[in-house]
């Protein structure tokens, strides 16, 4: 079965519509969404309405969670004072715009979805705030996939697409017991695992404004990273029209993302 | 000898003076009119050459006597009216050096300069055209007393130099940042950009700094309000300044 997986739409309706059109042209049988439907962009309700109308299975992103539960992260979520101020501003604007029905919809989104040997998460199986970066060490990356009990882990959140194959991992664990001087070594191998980060539809961070998503064939295990050009100027104009900071429009046009990722991307806020 | 140096923004006037000072064995004096309230270049030179003597406006009469024993450099900022300062340069019998960034506008300086030096071959036409048409704007933000969040400064710097707040051809600034360091940053259009450099001055770890800090931006269509607002977004509060200073002191005492 050919599926399309997308993430991080961030209220960018023009980008979402372009991706949906591209998905249709590639005859995908099912679409999955990895969350962050809202935040920073000017069309949060329109994006949520579209996802709801199309009944696209969706997991909850960190922005979706924050709109439901309120901003409760410490400053660790932001790499700088400037990013924090901009993030709070975007949160407050989105919070004022979102309808009660859409807030309710966001609140009931699951944190993970599992279809056969495929798992869908926003950040990682442990938290929708955790970044699974392409350069993450192999042991941790493998641990995250194993935690999902899947062979293929789809994620987003970093806004930079990548595919990482963890080939037949050899794991060795040393077990130390306090009352024994003998350490026990356990060794086992894992089957091939794969992490597929689908990038971002509405807030790219790869240096171009184009939307990204992934087409995956569940039978052949072939994947295709898709990059879709769209009329981003339309979204930029809307950002300014609705009163969001003009710098968001400039950053979108440059493919820079509205805010940088946290300084320590593996840190998970425990608040 | 007294040497007067002029040139458009980004041609490397201060850099050229730095190179000359490094070669000198005799004492050196530096004077730069109309920059007293915004002494970025002077502070950079003092960071590298602590013994450099500085003359202030009103002390011009000392220049002639100093020139008997010292090498004297007068840096003329691009916005200075050269005709207005010409009598002083003539009276001091200055050797006049013009730094130019392309060979195309030598004629502009031929009547003024004793020597023309071609510095880095940046694409200078945009600057020259804007200068000729009086379109070059200068925006100065005095940040003395402010302590900045460095990560935010990096984000702002990238946005500024890539055109988020207008077309920028030259930026230079000196900043106090949250770990107490005093740093210098500069941008010249079309040149490889350098990282921020720490200046060789003591860390500021006791309250708000009193030394100068500020940013000078040269370009066209500058959105000065947005620049000022964004800078204001990452100036630390008193409580934050105090918190970070305590952290740095603690880490230094642990060494």
What pLDDT shows up at residue A184? 73
Could you tell me if residue B35 is inside a domain?
A: yes
User: Mean pLDDT across the stretch A131-135?
Assistant: 86
Could you tell me if residue B222 is inside a domain?
A: yes
pLDDT-derived band at A171 (thresholds 50, 70, 90) equals low
A196 touches A223 (CB < 8 A)? yes
**B93 lies in the same domain as B197:** no
Flag if B159 and A251 touch (Cβ within 8 Å): yes
**B108 lies in the same domain as B209:** no
- pLDDT tens digits along A221-241: 999 999 999 999 999 999 999
**B117 lies in the same domain as B141:** no
Q: Identify the helix (H) or strand (E) that includes residue B86.
A: helix B82-91
Q: And the tokens for B233? A: 């977004």
**B192 lies in the same domain as B215:** yes
Query: What is the C-alpha end-to-end distance of chain A, expressed in Å?
Result: 40
**B25 lies in the same domain as B61:** yes
Residue A271 has pLDDT above 50, yes or no: no
Q: What percent of chain A has pLDDT over 90?
A: 65
Q: What is the CATH number of the domain that holds B141?
A: 3.30.1220.10
Chain A contacts of B155, Cβ < 8 Å?
A: 80, 82-83, 260
Q: From the list A82, A250, A260, which residue is nearest B234 (CB)?
A: A82
- Give the residue carrying structure tokens 């006049």: B96
The full set of domains in chain A, from first to last, is: 2-254 (3.60.21.10)
Q: If interface means Cβ-Cβ distance under 8 Å, which residues of chain B face chain A?
A: 149, 151-152, 154-156, 159, 162, 164, 226, 230, 233-234, 236
Could you tell me if residue B132 is inside a domain?
A: no
Chain A contacts of B230, Cβ < 8 Å?
A: 82, 247
**B16 lies in the same domain as B87:** yes
**B118 lies in the same domain as B211:** no
Residue A38 CB partners (closer than 8 Å, separation 6+): A10, A11, A44, A47, A48, A63, A64, A67, A94, A98, A106
**B36 lies in the same domain as B88:** yes
Domain boundary residue, one of B94, B122, B150: B122
Could you tell me if residue B11 is inside a domain?
A: yes
**B199 lies in the same domain as B230:** yes
Residue numbers of the domain that contains B58: 2-122
User: Mean pLDDT across the stretch B102-117?
Assistant: 79
**B91 lies in the same domain as B154:** no
Flag if A85 and B233 touch (Cβ within 8 Å): yes
What pLDDT shows up at residue B105? 64
Q: What percent of chain A has pLDDT over 70?
A: 86
Distance CA B72, CA B32 (A): 11
DSSP state of B219: E
Domain boundary residue, one of B69, B99, B122: B122
ipTM: 0.86
Total count of domains within chain B: 2
Chain A contacts of B156, Cβ < 8 Å?
A: 82
A253 part of contact set with chain B, CB < 8 Å: no
Q: Judging by DSSP bridges, how do beta strands B71-75 and B28-31 pair with one another? A: parallel
Residue A74 has pLDDT above 90, yes or no: no
Chain B contacts of A246, Cβ < 8 Å?
A: 226
What pLDDT shows up at residue A19? 98
Chain B contacts of A236, Cβ < 8 Å?
A: none
A246 part of contact set with chain B, CB < 8 Å: yes
Chain A contacts of B164, Cβ < 8 Å?
A: 247, 250-251
Q: Identify the helix (H) or strand (E) that includes residue B92.
A: none
User: Mean pLDDT across the stretch A131-140?
Assistant: 85
Q: What is the CATH number of the domain that holds B64?
A: 3.40.50.300
Could you tell me if residue B128 is inside a domain?
A: no
**B88 lies in the same domain as B164:** no
Could you tell me if residue B53 is inside a domain?
A: yes
Could you tell me if residue B105 is inside a domain?
A: yes
Q: And the tokens for A127? A: 């938290």
A1 touches A31 (CB < 8 A)? no
Could you tell me if residue B130 is inside a domain?
A: no
Flag if A82 and B233 touch (Cβ within 8 Å): yes
Flag if A250 and B149 touch (Cβ within 8 Å): no
**B152 lies in the same domain as B118:** no
A250 part of contact set with chain B, CB < 8 Å: yes
Domain boundary residue, one of B68, B97, B122: B122
Q: From the list B151, B162, B164, which residue is nearest A80 (CB)?
A: B151
């Amino acid at each position: 079965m050919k599926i399309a997986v997308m993430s991080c739409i961030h209220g960018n309706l023009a980008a979402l519509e372009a991706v949906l059109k591209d998905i249709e042209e590639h005859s995908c049988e099912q679409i999955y969404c990895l969350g962050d439907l809202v935040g920073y962009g000017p069309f949060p309700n329109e994006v949520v309405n579209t996802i709801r109308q199309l009944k696209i299975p969706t997991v909850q992103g960190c922005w979706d969670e924050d709109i439901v539960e309120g901003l409760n992260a410490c400053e660790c979520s932001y790499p700088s004072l400037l990013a924090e101020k901009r993030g709070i501003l975007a949160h407050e604007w989105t919070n004022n715009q979102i309808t009660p029905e859409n807030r309710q919809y966001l609140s009931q989104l699951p944190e993970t979805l599992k279809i056969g040997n495929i798992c869908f998460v926003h950040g990682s199986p442990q938290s929708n705030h955790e970044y699974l970066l392409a350069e993450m060490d192999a042991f941790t990356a493998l641990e995250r996939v194993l935690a999902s009990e899947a062979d293929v882990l789809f994620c987003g959140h970093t806004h930079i697409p990548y595919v990482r194959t963890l080939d037949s991992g050899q794991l060795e664990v040393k077990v130390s017991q306090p009352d024994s001087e003998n350490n026990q070594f356990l060794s086992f191998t894992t089957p091939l695992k794969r992490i597929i980060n689908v990038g971002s539809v509405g807030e790219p961070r790869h240096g171009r404004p184009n939307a990204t998503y992934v087409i995956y064939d569940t039978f052949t295990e072939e994947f295709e990273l898709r990059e879709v050009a769209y009329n981003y100027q339309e979204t930029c104009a809307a950002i300014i029209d609705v009163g969001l900071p003009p710098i968001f429009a400039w950053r979108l046009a440059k493919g820079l993302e509205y805010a940088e990722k946290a300084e320590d991307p593996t840190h998970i806020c425990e608040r | 000898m007294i040497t007067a140096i002029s040139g458009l923004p980004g041609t490397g006037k201060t850099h050229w003076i730095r190179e000359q000072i490094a070669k000198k064995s005799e004492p050196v004096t530096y004077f730069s009119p109309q920059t007293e309230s915004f002494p970025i270049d002077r502070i950079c030179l003092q960071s590298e050459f602590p013994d450099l003597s500085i003359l202030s406006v009103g002390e011009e009469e000392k220049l002639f006597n100093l020139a008997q024993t010292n090498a004297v450099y007068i840096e003329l900022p691009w916005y200075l009216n050269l005709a207005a300062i010409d009598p002083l340069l003539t009276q001091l019998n200055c050797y006049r050096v013009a730094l130019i960034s392309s060979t195309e506008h030598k004629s502009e300086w031929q009547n003024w300069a004793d020597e023309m030096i071609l510095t880095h071959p940046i694409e200078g036409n945009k600057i020259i055209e804007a200068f000729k048409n009086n379109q070059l704007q200068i925006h100065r933000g005095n940040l003395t007393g402010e302590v900045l969040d460095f990560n935010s400064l990096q984000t702002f710097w990238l946005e500024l130099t890539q055109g988020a707040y207008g077309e920028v051809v030259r930026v230079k600034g000196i900043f106090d940042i949250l770990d107490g360091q005093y740093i210098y940053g500069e941008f010249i259009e079309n040149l490889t950009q350098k990282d921020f450099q720490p200046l060789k001055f003591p860390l500021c770890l006791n309250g708000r700094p009193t030394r100068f800090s500020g940013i000078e931006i040269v370009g066209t269509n500058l959105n000065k309000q947005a620049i000022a607002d964004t800078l204001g977004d990452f100036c630390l509060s008193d409580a934050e300044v105090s918190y970070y200073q305590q952290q740095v002191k603690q880490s230094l005492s642990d060494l």
